[in-house]
Chain A
């Protein structure tokens, strides 16, 4: 078996390398525009590429290259093909997959974008690529006091890293405020207000890399959930119970020295500018029985607004979070089953729920979603638009005998863009719903029978 896999891997690798080599020679990027948004701690980059096939063979795909530091922090890459002219633009999502290249220089990482139809010789295509980076703003100074605001470094290249020749390119970097301490200037580069413009640069060879550092102020909340465990428990009696265990931290510059409540309360604008104490969770509509607590009890600072399309839970941790401070809490709620559980055409049932973290503008380092299926359900399978680690567990809950199957989905580095629906399919016979009530009824029955018997049987040895 192992040998087979090995051979298979070699074949795939050879095949891929041939593809890569051929397309690297065949494609070129006529025009590239990159807009990097640094306004929060989630870095979003939008690439608009115009790709031309200058080779002789049709090219089915192209490669996107990322530097080793970026590939490590890359949360998501999406690509859209633009067809049609200005008014009638249509966007067609393309398939994007991480890939390896054997001849990658300096550990460059790659994503492969498959075109909807292979790009014929001489043809061009316009692509919109969105990629999201986490943990890419490095605080400097590393430690700040309560009265300082937070400055961060952003490292990138002024030119787009690409395995292809880029004929013309421009990069725009948007900073959250006008306060930019410094930025590496690669002519032509200039700054206007909140925007830094690099370029236009022309005819940069493949794998060109011009490192730049931008040092700027960013006081947006660096809310990082180190670990989030969401447990979705399906009860066929009519509800879905969701319990979310958060371990939250402030991922920005570490807080140093004194925390003065007097300053924090009276001079809110200058004191603790980078700290945050309010968070917003977007919960499903028709949510009920919401609770917000931690290990030592209820936390009273939260407001719930239920709406028609979504509910919003605005809550505060027990204390404001400064750089490096941590907090743990649990949010739990219940939603009606009929909104999320459906029956597929083949008789199986499936749960359709949102992946990701309900908190807005947060990074989740490690997300675990546990879907607890009702006792007696079989053949679970999960369907997701991206790859996650999957696992099966067994959980014993109220009066279970065989235990409930738990589908565990685990993914690192999750950003709000991952909040897309996923499905878990399983088969379930409704008769199992009656198992536990029946058990209880029979247990009470036996208790009464036993007490009846006890009253009527004379256990005395000696006759009175």
Chain B
């Protein structure tokens, strides 16, 4: 795209501008189509279906919304999950995505376009990635002109990191949140560049949408204050900065508090304190600038000494109050996930449930290359381009990339926040490089172009942003910024940077051959990026993960076991039966099987999850009692040993032990490990071989091949022939990936033993200590 865009000769005639605008719009439309269509691989290769885990929950919520309306949705108490606690969905969910898809569905249906809720949900993410790339265009255009904008938009349209979260069917918060994030940043920069209250209000609304959509909004509410602070510290304070920031904090905080899931957190938790602190600082600074304006320098000095001494006292008091407030909350007012951002080792030390999620792990180096590919090399160039010359807006994107690089290094999931920043930077870098190379080619080929450049320089100054369109070449924004400043004060600085840039331009003329070779190399780099992105979209990120395929000699083999079992549950069990499984499968069970689950992917109650973990790691009888006390009728385990599906429950089992042991100390991780090694073969510990998870996974497994060879662990299982006494197999899917067991009813009590048994059961499983259960 950039290759198409940059060589456009920019003359001052209106016709050319109109043509350029039309071309830009056309390119943007094509970028939107590209962003949408590259995400359809999943539909073409698999089917139009909701993916993975969380999207199923969102889909279910959307179904509820479209069926019952918005008021029922806010009041929705979901009794089908976290049995017997339930969950208040309306107050614990970020409603942005659901409301967006619900609104789209409603609009379409009122136009008599009878798309199903599922179809709307599946295609929400691709549609919003098109929006996100347009927002990227706008943002980058504000920073470095529309050439860079188009390049950045094209890069973002197909950046693998974003594709991984927004393929068709990946109906997750991030799908709309990335658009909201970029758009909020765009409006912030726009306000910063124009000083318009109109944009400031829009900015607060965009921020509101972001708060509705994703917990990642804290990134915005911390990044923008940081940038404001940076501007103040570097002496770039201006009224535009004030207009960009103060309304955002006031309106944004008020609006954010309207979202039930945030509520008073918008003023109470530490994540938001930075914004208030900076809010105070910017007012102090604004006041200082104002006083400086009306006082004589001498009076001002006196005033400064006065204010500083009083101000210090006030500040100390405020800081003391803040510290007291923060210290009074147990985690220092920070949520676990945020804490693990600041201290990457926090989660693995204290909260196994956060650490157990693979997307909360730090990424590896290859994953950077996989997810942002050549952008990783272009980013430094982009940063340099942002520094020459530095403006308010370019300093913002520099800050953005620095922060997001840090966060992505902590949590692989936040690579998603890095992707737009990397795209913007690379877009700037590419655009600048193309500029320099094509400019020097033009210069080498004929001297006339040089005079055209000069003409452009002189013409650019009086133009406003809208008309400037795509003609600008980097220095345009600088001039604009300085010209705005110039209006207020003196005209002098206007000349300086433009002269500077002219000098720079002359110096940057490269030899013709070098330019051509460099251009070709850049195009190759872009081509490589495109190839990689298409490959990633097609091969790596399109699998819906509820249906697996494998390519064998006799064609494609489909493993549809998950849906097989969910369909079985949904049609052949009672509608109020409770199903226990590890929390990974909670959302899917409620959405696809419509059965009540004990725990699900919204891991809000650690104790409850630990209870299920304890049951899975306990011997059969104790597990039966735990499950029975929870009114569980069916237990579902995922087993990959027959076909070699690696992410099954046996491989997740250690997390169950850890999380269970974290709350119920009689479960000890060491009991399940032989010499620190996790194994299920004949060397495994008796605790391991007797625990419920082992038994439910391998029940009658030996009869399949006579040996019980586990294809995931690549070993024969330790205990081969055993019977279940308290559970019975009621369903096993075609490839054994999902096994469902039913709790046998309690045995009739024999008269004499009744009392004894009763005392035993009431003594409870939780009080039983580490020693093995005597009645097994």
Binding site for B on A (CB under 8 A): 257-262, 266, 294, 296-300, 318-319, 324-328, 396-401
Inter-chain contact A259/B592, CB cutoff 8 Å: no
Residues of B within 8 A of A261 (CB): 729, 731-734, 736
Q: Scoring B residues 102 to 113 as 1 if CB is less than 8 Å from chain A, else 0, what string do you get?
A: 000000000111
Binding site for A on B (CB under 8 A): 47, 49, 111-114, 546-547, 558, 560, 563-568, 571-572, 592, 700, 703-704, 728-734, 736
Inter-chain contact A260/B700, CB cutoff 8 Å: yes
Residues of B within 8 A of A318 (CB): 560, 563-564, 567-568
CA distance A328 to B571 in the complex (A): 8
CA distance A398 to B567 in the complex (A): 30
Mind listing 17 A-B residue pairs with CB under 8 Å?
A257-B728, A259-B732, A260-B700, A261-B731, A261-B734, A261-B736, A262-B700, A297-B563, A300-B547, A300-B558, A319-B564, A319-B565, A319-B567, A324-B572, A326-B572, A397-B112, A401-B112
CA distance A342 to B728 in the complex (A): 59
Residues of B within 8 A of A396 (CB): 112, 114
Return A89 CB to nearest CB of chain B, in Å.
49
CA distance A318 to B562 in the complex (A): 10
Return B463 CB to nearest CB of chain A, in Å.
13
Residues of A within 8 A of B113 (CB): 398-399
Other-chain residue from B560, B703, B731 in contact with A300 (beta carbon distance below 8 A)? B560
CA distance A396 to B563 in the complex (A): 32
Residues of A within 8 A of B572 (CB): 324-326
Inter-chain contact B112/A258, CB cutoff 8 Å: no
Inter-chain contact A297/B564, CB cutoff 8 Å: no
Inter-chain contact A259/B547, CB cutoff 8 Å: no
CA distance A86 to B353 in the complex (A): 84
CA distance A328 to B729 in the complex (A): 23
Residues of B within 8 A of A262 (CB): 700, 703-704, 732
CA distance A300 to B565 in the complex (A): 14
**Residue among A257, A261, A399, A401 with the highest chain B CB neighbour number at 10 A:** A261
Inter-chain contact A297/B733, CB cutoff 8 Å: no
Inter-chain contact A327/B49, CB cutoff 8 Å: no
Residues of B within 8 A of A398 (CB): 112-114
Inter-chain contact A400/B564, CB cutoff 8 Å: no
Residues of A within 8 A of B547 (CB): 297, 300
**Residue among A262, A319, A324, A401 with the highest chain B CB neighbour number at 10 A:** A319
SS of B interface (majority): mixed
CA distance A397 to B592 in the complex (A): 27
Inter-chain contact B731/A319, CB cutoff 8 Å: yes
Residues of A within 8 A of B546 (CB): 297
CA distance A327 to B572 in the complex (A): 8
Inter-chain contact A400/B700, CB cutoff 8 Å: no
Q: A260-B732, A266-B703, A318-B563 are in contact. Are A298 and B47 (CB under 8 A)?
A: yes
Other A-B pairs, 7, CB within 8 Å; known A257-B728, A259-B731, A300-B547:
A318-B560, A318-B564, A319-B568, A325-B568, A327-B567, A398-B113, A399-B112
Q: A259-B729, A319-B733 are in contact. Are A327 and B571 (CB under 8 A)?
A: yes
Residues of A within 8 A of B47 (CB): 297-298
Other-chain residue from B111, B592, B704 in contact with A296 (beta carbon distance below 8 A)? B592
CA distance A257 to B730 in the complex (A): 7
CA distance A325 to B568 in the complex (A): 8
Residues of A within 8 A of B49 (CB): 296-298
Residues of A within 8 A of B112 (CB): 396-401
Residues of B within 8 A of A298 (CB): 47, 49
Considering the complex of A and B, which 8 residue pairs feature the smallest CB-CB distances, nearest first?
Answer: A261-B732, A297-B49, A326-B571, A298-B47, A300-B558, A318-B564, A396-B112, A318-B567
Inter-chain contact B566/A299, CB cutoff 8 Å: no
Residues of B within 8 A of A327 (CB): 567, 571
- Smallest CB gap from B741: residue in A: A258
CA distance A328 to B592 in the complex (A): 13
- Smallest CB gap from B724: residue in A: A258
CA distance A300 to B558 in the complex (A): 7
CA distance A258 to B739 in the complex (A): 12
Other-chain residue from B111, B565, B731 in contact with A399 (beta carbon distance below 8 A)? B111
Residues of B within 8 A of A401 (CB): 112
Inter-chain contact B571/A325, CB cutoff 8 Å: yes
Residues of B within 8 A of A400 (CB): 112
**Residue among B111, B732, B736 with the highest chain A CB neighbour number at 10 A:** B732
Residues of B within 8 A of A397 (CB): 112, 114
Other-chain residue from A258, A299, A399 in contact with B560 (beta carbon distance below 8 A)? A299
Residues of A within 8 A of B703 (CB): 262, 266
Return B740 CB to nearest CB of chain A, in Å.
9
- Smallest CB gap from B47: residue in A: A298
Inter-chain contact B567/A294, CB cutoff 8 Å: yes
Residues of A within 8 A of B734 (CB): 261, 319
Inter-chain contact A258/B728, CB cutoff 8 Å: yes
Return A317 CB to nearest CB of chain B, in Å.
8
CA distance A258 to B566 in the complex (A): 18
Residues of A within 8 A of B563 (CB): 296-297, 318
Return B709 CB to nearest CB of chain A, in Å.
15
Return A442 CB to nearest CB of chain B, in Å.
14
CA distance A78 to B547 in the complex (A): 48
CA distance A399 to B572 in the complex (A): 39
Return B743 CB to nearest CB of chain A, in Å.
13
CA distance A395 to B99 in the complex (A): 26
Inter-chain contact B566/A296, CB cutoff 8 Å: yes
CA distance A327 to B566 in the complex (A): 11
Return B638 CB to nearest CB of chain A, in Å.
14
Return B316 CB to nearest CB of chain A, in Å.
47
Return A325 CB to nearest CB of chain B, in Å.
5
CA distance A328 to B567 in the complex (A): 9
Inter-chain contact B730/A258, CB cutoff 8 Å: yes
Return A106 CB to nearest CB of chain B, in Å.
39
CA distance A357 to B17 in the complex (A): 65
CA distance A261 to B112 in the complex (A): 46
**Residue among A262, A296, A324, A399 with the highest chain B CB neighbour number at 10 A:** A296
Return A113 CB to nearest CB of chain B, in Å.
42
- Smallest CB gap from B567: residue in A: A318
- Smallest CB gap from B736: residue in A: A261
Residues of A within 8 A of B731 (CB): 259, 261, 319
CA distance A399 to B731 in the complex (A): 45
- Smallest CB gap from B563: residue in A: A296
Residues of A within 8 A of B560 (CB): 299-300, 318
CA distance A369 to B333 in the complex (A): 61
CA distance A262 to B708 in the complex (A): 13
CA distance A300 to B49 in the complex (A): 13
Residues of A within 8 A of B558 (CB): 300
Return A450 CB to nearest CB of chain B, in Å.
16
